[in-house]
Structure 1
């Protein structure tokens, strides 16, 4: 190499990377506009980036800029280890999707209940234990224990309050207790009708529609609705028409996958059931599965289906919804991918988290 060439290179060194040289406030402004699915890769750039993408400052900036996103979290029960795991749905660079295990978290309770409130997830265990998970940083916080001991709790949220129902371990009667997410305190437990506390009913799921919580059993399909404004329980005969389970609610309409090969919807305002149209190809593919779960995600459906005894692959389809001509509901499959390969898993709960 000539001395002239060396001299030229010495005089024109490569400029340093632009972003690391910027003030931190400007970097936060830039990163806040980046889709959250790229944060894991950004965290590999440097320790500084790793700290920023998990900081409260960047999520506050995302909120002020209107850059928040809906993220789908999925609680899976691993039948091989006997433990619950928390996964998040990620989009790959090629546009496909996969479930990614979130490391560093405690085991999710196999018989617990899970509720999402904004960017936070609440986990209610069997032995009165309660934790919250900040999904911005995936950090865990201990909360006050439930003021009643119950088995197999089910929970959902209405107006900032989480209503938890289950069988009291001491009296073997159905009870309800309420957790206020604003005060982070428990309210006095509520009594439930004697008809709900008998041996013929064991809670098997709950949903919230139009400000009311509906709880069903796993045998007789009895469905009771609870109105917190009136503190009143009553049976809902129309919801008893089908034995829905692993259901979700989108825009106050209940959806679930019927074992007969249909996605059914119930509108409480119309008090009527309909079959979601436009999903014939998807349900034809899903008919070879023996497990199904329907979750809500950013105003859409996320239908999971898999076969525990055959090929161990969990598939997920994202379905957008449209109402036509009054009561008709049509679905459109946005994508359908294999999101988890191998293992024997059960989908316990999906959670729509805003971050």
Structure 2
């Protein structure tokens, strides 16, 4: 199977990918070579195992097996030979994983000046990403981030304008991302598969926005969406039931919003939801810490250090239990509250006898609440990394 054929097959649907067998005829030997590396001569079939991804196995079957290999091992896989390297580098396996519904979740975070690093909960391994090739202004300015598809997007301010840098899991490098139509900061955002939506925020002049944009990671392009009903900054966004929501935030330096807004991707319209987030946040407080697991919305109440669950039917919130770390001491800043597959993830710092440590705690809602107690499990620990989480994103692919 040559590389051009590889790429052509990976762009087809799964049924076409596994069923199509284009054949070539070697006129000198009379041997037909199929795309599955079969030799057919005088009606008999011999298999050229040495030309396959996995000896003794059809390539289409081998690719399915390789798709189940942990992403942590892709670097080792790519180093085996040129053919495996191309398979990883061109993203063929990621396309196949998407078709097969294979998902692993990695946690990306930055908690010290050395830059971004990622954590694989399955292998319990930490790795550091290359440094972003940005200017010093971007390095020291406040940043926001989100993971969409196989990309990590980091939003910040360079010397003269807002900038977006993205790290591709496939190419394993940073590149400058195409800018938004309305550059902004302090916005709400959420991701659904290969798309992301950002809404609200502030422009370079400090104006509070009600515009929204959709980013498609497959094309790298931004598309304007209809405006929200209210301008808001310091808000939070998320997808739930395949709809995008924005809650919280401030519509002016002194006025907080308790309403939420729902954007329907099919009708392309916003709907206002009064009282969706009654916890009023002030300018000194972090945007709402929210996460969605199995289409259920959860949030952190900073002042009480409690986790709440949203009742979609009654538009109300119910207290579940206490956080494993304190959020009140810093008004919610420096703490990450994310969905990681079927678990809620809290990433925060603590000081101990051996210094400053970042701890990743997880809780699965299906385990339930016992006597008002959530059974938090330590998912991972990063020692000597400070106690403040500046940015955090969870990538599932």
> Shared fold by TM > 0.5?
yes
> Which residue number in structure 1 is paired with residue 296 of structure 2?
253
> Which residue number in structure 2 is paired with residue 302 of structure 1?
345
Deviation at 1:35, TM superposition (A): 1.8
Q: Which of 68, 85, 92 in structure 2 is aligned with 1:33? A: 68
Q: Which of 103, 107, 111 in structure 1 is aligned with 2:130? A: 103
1:216 aligned to 2:251? no
Q: Report Cα offsets for 1:162-187 as digits up to 9, x if no partner.
A: 23321122472324231341664434
- Give the secondary structure class of the aligned counterpart of 1:38: helix
> Which residue number in structure 2 is paired with residue 227 of structure 1?
262
- Give the secondary structure class of the aligned counterpart of 1:223: coil
Structure 1 residues 41 and 332, CA gap change in structure 2 (3 angstroms): farther
Q: Which of 101, 119, 137 in structure 2 is aligned with 1:89? A: 119
Query: Which segment is superposed worse, 220-229 or 43-52?
Result: 43-52
> Which residue number in structure 2 is paired with residue 122 of structure 1?
153
> Which residue number in structure 2 is paired with residue 8 of structure 1?
none
Deviation at 1:234, TM superposition (A): 3.4
Q: What is the alpha-carbon distance in structure 1 between the residues aligned to residue 395 and residue 148 of structure 2? A: 7
> Which residue number in structure 2 is paired with residue 11 of structure 1?
none
Q: Report Cα offsets for 1:215-258 as digits up to 9, x if no partner.
A: 32277652342233464463632411465733222233322333
Q: What is the alpha-carbon distance in structure 2 between the residues aligned to residue 340 and residue 44 of structure 1? A: 28
Q: What is the alpha-carbon distance in structure 1 between the residues aligned to residue 181 and residue 352 of structure 2? A: 40
CA contact under 8 A between 1:113 and 1:154: conserved in structure 2? Answer: no
Q: Which of 186, 195, 207 in structure 1 is aligned with 2:222? A: 186
Q: What is the alpha-carbon distance in structure 1 between the residues aligned to residue 340 and residue 364 of structure 2? A: 10
CA contact under 8 A between 1:289 and 1:306: conserved in structure 2? Answer: no
> Which residue number in structure 2 is paired with residue 207 of structure 1?
238
Q: Report Cα offsets for 1:115-154 as digits up to 9, x if no partner.
A: 3333233343343433443323424454432222434343
- Give the secondary structure class of the aligned counterpart of 1:37: helix
Q: Report Cα offsets for 1:302-334 as digits up to 9, x if no partner.
A: 111213798310111222112879xx998544x
1:344 aligned to 2:386? yes
> Which residue number in structure 2 is paired with residue 240 of structure 1?
278
- Structure 1: 4+ residue segments shifted above 6 A: none
* Residue correspondence of structure 1 range 143-154 to structure 2 within 5 A: 143-154=177-188
1:322 aligned to 2:366? yes
List gaps (5 residues or longer) in structure 1.
Answer: 1-19
Provide the aligned length of Structure 1 versus Structure 2: 315
- Give the secondary structure class of the aligned counterpart of 2:66: helix
Structure 1 residues 148 and 208, CA gap change in structure 2 (3 angstroms): same
Structure 1 residues 319 and 344, CA gap change in structure 2 (3 angstroms): same
> Which residue number in structure 1 is paired with residue 104 of structure 2?
70
- Give the secondary structure class of the aligned counterpart of 1:274: strand
- Give the secondary structure class of the aligned counterpart of 2:261: strand
Q: Please, what TM-score do these two structures have when normalized by structure 1?
A: 0.70
Bigger RCO of structures 1 and 2 (CA < 8 A, at least 6 apart) = 1
Q: Which of 177, 180, 205 in structure 1 is aligned with 2:212? A: 177
Q: Please, what TM-score do these two structures have when normalized by structure 2?
A: 0.63
Structure 1 residues 31 and 275, CA gap change in structure 2 (3 angstroms): same
CA contact under 8 A between 1:249 and 1:296: conserved in structure 2? Answer: yes
Structure 1 residues 98 and 317, CA gap change in structure 2 (3 angstroms): farther
- Give the secondary structure class of the aligned counterpart of 2:389: strand
Q: What is the alpha-carbon distance in structure 2 between the residues aligned to residue 303 and residue 172 of structure 1? A: 32
- Give the secondary structure class of the aligned counterpart of 1:152: coil
- Give the secondary structure class of the aligned counterpart of 2:335: strand
1:274 aligned to 2:299? no
